[in-house]
Structure 1
Amino acid sequence: MQHDWPGNVRELRNVVERAGVLHGGEILGAQDVELLLANASPPLESGDARPVVQPLSLVPASPAPSKDRPIDLRQEIEAIECDRITMALELADGIVSDAARLLTLKRTTLIEKMRKYGVQAAA
């Protein structure tokens, strides 16, 4: 509540999206939010270079398998990849090279995965 949100709603949205990517399914405390705010990039001034982006962490998409529920590992991996690619593109405002940095992938590798999953970069 004490943060002045210099980027207004856009900054809040980016912090919430980052929290979802980095801490999906977890309950965040005040310290977690402070860390997210500390790592959030300030708004770009005209002439500024693009901010350095931090890699995304991976969070399992579903609970661990059990005796009663087998898991299709290939399908799970594809679902995680597609989800993370979509999130990274949203965080990077559709800029593929920035999304690739978030995912710690080469740009060409990300483009191939986007084709595989039919993911489009937002214009």
Structure 2
Amino acid sequence: EMAINRQAKLLRVLQEREFERVGGTKPIKADIRVVAATNRALEEAIKEGRFREDLFYRLNVITIKLPPLRERREDIKLLANHFTAKYAQRCKRTIRGITPDALNCLLNYDWPGNVREFENTIERAVVLGSSEMIGVEDLPENLISAKPAALAINQPTNEWANEMSLNKPELGNFYDLINDAKKRLIIRAVETAKGNYTEAARLLDVHPNHLHRLIRNLDMKGELLKFHQ
């Protein structure tokens, strides 16, 4: 959202490593490193003339793509604990944790506002809560009424659902069952994609980085080797 004329000034600083103070006449050397972040599609902004192409390539030396929170739900519990401790200390409250039902609400929500919305939700729960545990009653209504998140498969067919035994799952340890379902979905997707992880991620409707992280966390690299051509 930076104006084009300001983009030109920033480009000069990055290229020449010098700038002039407001009202100054002598250039000042700048030994700096720049970490830039955006949630905009800069390639589209370049085509529309809203972002300088030369500045884009000057900034785009090392790119780190962070998937949205809905694609890395395994981080939700860690973030919840972190933000709970942060705001409990700031508000001088004793918070021992989050109830399982409240955690399920956090896991089921898609977080369109990403981590910022998540942090605000935890802060609200800490500020408005009256007990030592964050419960469902401390969460916004839109989280409580959210439908359970899908197990990350883009328009699943009956064949997939039957093969994964998701229609009538057997009872057992909740986390073991979830991990088992994830493994079978990943195996089916990688097999269908003939070992192409990018295509498998597309089938599962998740970011490729998220798929690689799941494979690593579930220790699946060995059993997926047979699908590589």
TM-score normalised over the length of structure 2 = 0.27
Which one scores higher on RCO, CA 8 angstroms, separation ≥ 6? 1
Structure having the higher Rg = 2
Identify the structure with the greater helix proportion: 2
TM-score, reference length from structure 1: 0.47
